[in-house]
Amino acid sequence: MKVTTFGVVGSGQMGNGIAQVAASSGLNVVMSDIKEEFAARGLAAIENNLARSVAKGKISADEKDEILGRIKITTNLEDMAAVDYVVEAAVEREDLKFNIFRELDKICPAHVILGTNTSSIPIGRIAAQTSRPEKVIGMHFMNPVPVMKLVEVIKGIATSEQTFDITWELCEKFGKTPAEANDFPGFIANRILMPMINEAIFCLYQSVGKAEDIDTVMKLGMNHPMGPLALADLIGLDTCLAIMETLYDGFKDSKYRPCPLLRKYVEAGWLGRKSGRGFYTY
Ligand code: CAA
166 and 3 Cβ atoms separated by less than 8 Å:
yes
Residue 164 forms part of a structural domain: yes
Residue 206 annotated as binding? no
Average pLDDT over residues 139-156: 97
- Active-site positions read 119, 140, 152, 190
44-97: pLDDT as tens digits: 999 999 999 999 999 999 999 999 999 999 999 999 999 999 999 999 889 999
Tell me the whole-structure pTM to 2 decimals: 0.94
Do 237 and 103 fall into the same domain? no
Do 152 and 271 fall into the same domain? no
Determine the pLDDT at residue 92: 87
Please say if the pLDDT value at position 117 is more than 90.
yes
Q: Work out how many domains the chain is built from and give that number.
A: 2
Radius of gyration of the chain (CA): 19
Distance 145 CA to ligand 1 centre (A): 8
Coil, helix or strand at residue 139:
strand
Do 67 and 102 fall into the same domain? yes
Distance 201 CA to ligand 1 centre (A): 21
Confidence of residue 1 (pLDDT cuts 50, 70, 90): confident
Question: DSSP string spanning 182-247?
Answer: ESSTTTTHHHHHHHHHHHHHHHHHTTSS-HHHHHHHHHHHH--SS-HHHHHHHH-HHHHHHHHHHH
Distance 126 CA to ligand 1 centre (A): 29
6 and 85 Cβ atoms separated by less than 8 Å:
yes
Residue 148 forms part of a structural domain: yes
Structural domain including 202 reads 191-275
Residue 120 annotated as binding? no
71-83: pLDDT as tens digits: 999 999 999 999 9
Provide the CATH number for the domain around residue 233.
Answer: 1.10.1040.10
Provide the CATH number for the domain around residue 115.
Answer: 3.40.50.720
Determine the pLDDT at residue 86: 98
Which of 280, 191, 200, 203 is CA-nearest to residue 234?
Answer: 280
Q: Is the CB of 235 under 6 A from ligand 1?
A: yes
Determine the pLDDT at residue 170: 98
205-225: pLDDT as tens digits: 999 999 999 999 999 999 999
Measured CA to CA, the distance from residue 94 to residue 253 in angstroms comes to 21
155-202: pLDDT as tens digits: 999 999 999 999 999 999 999 999 999 999 999 999 999 999 999 999
Residue 186 annotated as binding? no
In terms of Cβ atoms closer than 10 Å to its own Cβ (0-12, 13-18, 19+), residue 230 is buried
